[in-house]
Every structure is written in structure tokens, then in C-alpha cells.
Amino acid sequence: MFGEGILKGLAETARNFLGSYVSKNRLTTVQYPEERLPQIEAYRNFPFLVYDGEDWQQGLRCVSCFICEKECPPKCIFIEKSTDKKPDAVGKPQFYPKAFNIDVSVCMSCQICVEVCPFDAIKMDTYYELSSTNRFSGLLWDKKHLAKSNEHYHKIHPTEAAAVDAQLAAERAKTAAKAKAAAETKSAATATAPTTPPVPTATEK
Ligand code: SF4
Ligand code: SF4
């Protein structure tokens, strides 16, 4: 029927308007910023760099492998790799990003950087209040701005963060078991190796 859609829309508006006097569920307007809708776990917008432990500089998981920079479709990630190695959160010497910047004004929130990172070092945040008075430097975030703790990751994406932690723990256990087995094989080989006979001196010949 001609105009049926308009009538249905008006009926829905009337239902919400009258219903808002008796039911809070019908109050569809949120008085932002005093009121905010609770975020759902699946919500994602811009990336952040995960760090473990207390020290964000030491704990950054990123090892400057450049994969995310290469794969980012609009090329808004800029990385400068360190020339030296520093101990990471578990004391293993690693390269680290001397500089890691993301131009958030260009980022299209595609999450490809997250998908390709082999170290679970970059994840999607839920922070959305990004307005700045400077659209250039104000939206070019450096590594200090991007660094957020693993606790923050657990707070915003608890299911995903728990799965990542379990996977990282399993990988570390596997690496430790491999290293232990290699050390045991080496010490067993040393114990069973024949001892070299003493070289005769010139007077014994
Ligand atoms: S979310 Fe997409 S566009 Fe944004 S930094 Fe990652 S790869 Fe680049
Ligand atoms: S965030 Fe991940 S993919 Fe990007 S440089 Fe760091 S370790 Fe490599």
C-alpha cells in the first residue's frame, strides 16, 4: 500500500514515545557524554601495542619485524627498527621499535595489522573519543601513545585476550621443552664420547 512504510515508522515512533513514560527500554536517546552505552566485546576501532609487565618500554611485544607496516592497506604505520637488542618482559634479548607511529587519520580500522602480526603485539582498541584540535600531529600516535598493557587488553576483549595468553604460554612451554631436550642430548653425547688418547711425546716415539 502506498505510504505503508511511513505509517509503520510513525507507529514505531509513537510506540517509543508513549512507552518511554512507562518503560526505560523505550528511552532510545542516550545523553552523551553524561551517559554512555555499554560497549560490546566485539567492538573494535584503532590498533594499540600490547606490553607485558609494568614497564611499557621493556614489555612491548613488538620486535619491529615490519610485517604490519608492509601489509597495512593505506600505509599508515611507520616503524623504525632498533640497531641493538634489549631484554623483553621475559628477559629474552629482542629488537624493538625505536619508533612506531600510526596515522589514525588514515587508518581504516581494517584489523589486517592484527591478523598478520606473528607476535600478538598489536590489537584493536575500543577507544573512540579521538577528536583533536590538530588533525596532523594530534592524530599521528607514537609508541608511547599506542602502548597499552595486557591488563587493558583483558579488560576490553577478555575472551580473546585469555585465548592469546593461553596460546603464548603453550608456545613458551614448547620452546622451553625443546631447549631442555637439546641440552639433555648434548650432555648425553658428551658423556658417551670416547676420550682422546694422549699424544706421545718426542722421547716416547
Ligand atoms: S587497522 Fe588496517 S589501516 Fe589501521 S593500521 Fe591496521 S592495517 Fe593499517
Ligand atoms: S606489531 Fe607485530 S607485525 Fe608489526 S612490527 Fe611489531 S611484531 Fe611485527
Q: Which domains does the chain have, with CATH numbers?
A: 47-122+133-164 (3.30.70.3270)
Q: What is the pLDDT of residue 5?
A: 94
Closest atom of ligand 1 to 110 CA is: 2
Protein residue with least CA distance to atom 2, ligand 1: 110
Amino acid 200: pLDDT: 61
* pTM to 2 decimal places: 0.81
pLDDT of residue 203: 54
Q: Residues with beta carbon inside 6 Å of ligand 1?
A: 47, 72-74, 76-77, 102, 107-113
Mutate to test the pocket of ligand 2, among 68, 72, 101 (most ligand atoms within 8 A of CB): 68
Q: What pLDDT sits at residue 191?
A: 80
pLDDT reported for residue 142: 96
pLDDT in the model for residue 188: 86
Give, using CA atoms, the residue closest to atom 4 of ligand 2: 68
According to the 3-state scheme, what is the secondary structure of the chain?
CCCHHHHHHHHHHHHHHHHCCCCHHHCCCCCCCCCCCCCCCCCCCCEEEEECCCCHHHHECCCCCCHHHHHCCCCCEEEEECCCCEECCCCCEECCEEEEEEECCCCCCCCHHHHHCCCCCEEECCCCCCCCCCCCHHHEECHHHHEEEHHHHHHHCHHHHHHHHHHHHHHHHHHHHHHHHHHHHHHHHHHHCCCCCCCCCCCCC
**pLDDT value, residue 137:** 85
pLDDT of residue 201: 59
Shortest-distance atom of ligand 1 to CA 124: 1
- Could you report the average pLDDT of every consecutive run of 10 residues in the chain (205 residues)? 92 92 84 90 96 94 97 98 92 94 96 97 94 88 97 97 96 89 87 66 54
